[in-house]
A and B are shown apart, each in its own frame.
Chain A
Amino acid sequence: MILNVYSMVGLFIDSLSLILIGWVVLLSLQLARRWGPAQSAEERTLVEERSHLVLLVAVILLGIRLVNWLFFYTMLHSFIRDLDGAMCIFGVTQVQRGLTRVAELLKPLAFFVMGAWLLLHFLDRATPSSSLMRTKLLFLAVTGLVAALESVADIAIIVNVAPGKLVSCCTTVTDILERPTRVVPTSIVGPHYASILQYAYFVSNGLLLLLLAVTLGYVKHSASPGRRRAVLGAVFVFAIFNGIIFHLGQIEVHAPVIMGLPFHRCLYCMWQYVPDTILMYGLFILGTAAPGWALILDMLGRTKETEENLLRYLNGLYGVGMFCIAASMTMNTVHLLAV
């Protein structure tokens, strides 16, 4: 374990998060059980009164986990000087490669689930009779579990990353199959994947924008909820596919160009040396999550009471999704042109 201010703070935040998450999950399950259609108004009031604190703690916790996402990378950065061979965060991630990969995947997943819950919460508050209370509480339990997993992964990394292992720079092994920074594009597409990825990035993002725009209009005028849900689902699936293209494209093609370092296929270096790309990435994640949130709201939040508000939320989310994807693309294009 590397002992420094960041790892200590990280451990504290993650441990505290785990304790609070445990309390929130248990209580939300308990309250969800007590809230049902047969319950009297008095009993529902009791549940409501107890739920205020749980929901408040939940919102604070989610905020902490979100901030922790940025802090996590700051902490990894602080480990660089203690690891032989590490030139940037990439080197640090190579100490416990599998574990770090899992932790990094859990973070956007947790962000997605937390955002979905928050939107469900707001939708519920907009209804007179809190018709989504039970769904909201159950979903909070699921969200809590994901956040707990994420905290555990962080703790595992803090405890297991230690000096003594020689790690590599991301430019190592730049041109053979088992390159650590790359998944499979060369083996699927061939050695000239870079230009293919470049085109794929623009085509895919453009298509997503178009899909979002078309679906926005469809959602406004569609009468059939079942069909609407299928369309929302399809758009989200495409958004995920686009996310994969974006991620690969950033690593393989854009990061080296943006940084001006031809063999440096490293997002961590890019975020470090060109910090506004963090915003670009954040916008993209938001834009990709928005259709997913719309789908989840439609699946979990549709009742007679919520129908009108739900439609507004879906429109809003798609609008946000479009703006964020467009903004991310704009930033990326400006960087590529300015090189």
Chain B
Amino acid sequence: MRTVLRTENLSKWYNAGTRHEVRAVDGITLEVKENQSVFFYGPSGSGKTTLLGLIGTLDRPTSGRILLFDRDVTGFSDAELSRIRRQTIGFVFQSFNLLSRLCAWENVSYPLIPMGITSASRFERARVLLERLGLGDRIDHPPEELSGGEQQRVAIARALINDPDILIADEPTSNIDADSVTTIFDIFEDLKRQRKTVIVSSHDPSFQSWADVWFHLHRGKLEAQSSATGNGDAAQ
């Protein structure tokens, strides 16, 4: 299996050298292979969101390297990173980040607009995805008319619309009700069955049973990593 993501001594510090220095991510080296389901867990403030932001190219590291498909993207320009994100990464945010003025299918099809796809085609693709995720009867509803779980499903659909190589989900179940959590779990199980490369961060340990590989973060450092085959490693 080829490596889709590798980090080398990745760090993200805020206010470095001052009294208020925060080492959100500190020297993390890890690898993610193709088709793996990866789980980052740790308490609040352990650096999960920051780390996902770095490997999702939404943020720049203070030091270290990030390699996507063996390409060092650390020094890439903003424009190039935007292209990479558009083509290879789907991101699901903790707080959904849906556009309130657009209905469900419009939110889902939004990433397709810069690709020059026609409106009819965008609608069709969004409809198919939303139906797969159980929202076929809610495609015209704006976010305010959807429950938390439904909004999260719309966000997942949006992340999947351009068939990304990697799906990154940051705390996908933290802002939704218990019933919806089950639904979201089912979706991720489905994605795993489809052999998608999925990276999830959460403080909910339930994802451990779902993941192929999991990493434990504490105070910005990688404390331990383990896999479903039972090979646990201490942090490198």
When A and B assemble into the complex, do they touch directly, with CB atoms less than 8 Å apart? yes
Interface residues of A (CB under 8 A from B): 40-42, 44-45, 48-49, 52, 125, 127-130, 133
Shortest CB-to-CB span from A204 to chain B, Å, is: 42
* B74 near A128: Cβ-Cβ < 8 Å: no
CB-CB under 8 A from B74, the residues of chain A are 41
Compute how far the CA of A44 lies from the CA of B80 in the bound complex, rounded to whole angstroms: 13
Which residue of the partner chain B has the closest CB to A40?
A: B62
Which residue of the partner chain B has the closest CB to A42?
A: B60
Interchain residue pairs with CB less than 8 A apart (28): A40-B60, A40-B63, A41-B74, A41-B75, A42-B60, A42-B61, A44-B75, A45-B60, A45-B78, A48-B77, A48-B78, A52-B78, A125-B77, A125-B79, A127-B77, A127-B80, A128-B73, A128-B76, A128-B77, A128-B80, A129-B75, A129-B76, A129-B77, A130-B77, A130-B78, A130-B79, A130-B80, A133-B77
Shortest CB-to-CB span from A70 to chain B, Å, is: 31
CB-CB under 8 A from A49, the residues of chain B are 78
Q: Mark B48-90, 1 if CB is under 8 A from A, else 0.
A: 0000000000001111000000000111111110000000000
Instruction: Specify the main secondary structure of chain A where it touches its partner.
Output: helix
Shortest CB-to-CB span from A118 to chain B, Å, is: 16
CB-CB under 8 A from A133, the residues of chain B are 77
Shortest CB-to-CB span from B51 to chain A, Å, is: 15
* B63 near A129: Cβ-Cβ < 8 Å: no
Shortest CB-to-CB span from B37 to chain A, Å, is: 29
CB-CB under 8 A from A45, the residues of chain B are 60, 78
Compute how far the CA of A130 lies from the CA of B77 in the bound complex, rounded to whole angstroms: 5
Compute how far the CA of A52 lies from the CA of B60 in the bound complex, rounded to whole angstroms: 17
Known pairs A42-B61, A45-B78, A128-B76 / 13 extra A-B pairs, C-beta < 8 Å: A40-B60, A40-B63, A41-B61, A45-B60, A48-B78, A49-B78, A52-B78, A125-B79, A127-B77, A129-B76, A130-B77, A130-B80, A133-B77
**Which 10 residue pairs spanning A and B have beta carbons closest together?**
A130-B77, A41-B60, A128-B80, A48-B78, A45-B60, A42-B60, A129-B75, A128-B76, A125-B79, A129-B76
Compute how far the CA of A40 lies from the CA of B80 in the bound complex, rounded to whole angstroms: 17
CB-CB under 8 A from A48, the residues of chain B are 77-78
CB-CB under 8 A from B62, the residues of chain A are 40, 42
Shortest CB-to-CB span from B56 to chain A, Å, is: 14
CB-CB under 8 A from A129, the residues of chain B are 75-77, 80
Which residue of the partner chain B has the closest CB to A128?
A: B80
Compute how far the CA of A129 lies from the CA of B80 in the bound complex, rounded to whole angstroms: 7
Compute how far the CA of A128 lies from the CA of B80 in the bound complex, rounded to whole angstroms: 5
CB-CB under 8 A from B78, the residues of chain A are 45, 48-49, 52, 130
Shortest CB-to-CB span from A318 to chain B, Å, is: 26
Which residue of the partner chain A has the closest CB to B71?
A: A128
Which residue of the partner chain A has the closest CB to B83?
A: A128
Compute how far the CA of A52 lies from the CA of B82 in the bound complex, rounded to whole angstroms: 14
CB-CB under 8 A from B75, the residues of chain A are 41, 44, 129
Compute how far the CA of A45 lies from the CA of B76 in the bound complex, rounded to whole angstroms: 9
CB-CB under 8 A from B73, the residues of chain A are 128
CB-CB under 8 A from A127, the residues of chain B are 77, 80
Shortest CB-to-CB span from A134 to chain B, Å, is: 12
Shortest CB-to-CB span from A133 to chain B, Å, is: 7
Compute how far the CA of A127 lies from the CA of B77 in the bound complex, rounded to whole angstroms: 8
Compute how far the CA of A45 lies from the CA of B62 in the bound complex, rounded to whole angstroms: 11
Compute how far the CA of A42 lies from the CA of B161 in the bound complex, rounded to whole angstroms: 30
CB-CB under 8 A from A40, the residues of chain B are 60, 62-63
Shortest CB-to-CB span from B211 to chain A, Å, is: 29
Residue in A127, A128, A133 whose Cβ sees the most chain B Cβ within 10 Å: A128
Which residue of the partner chain B has the closest CB to A49?
A: B78
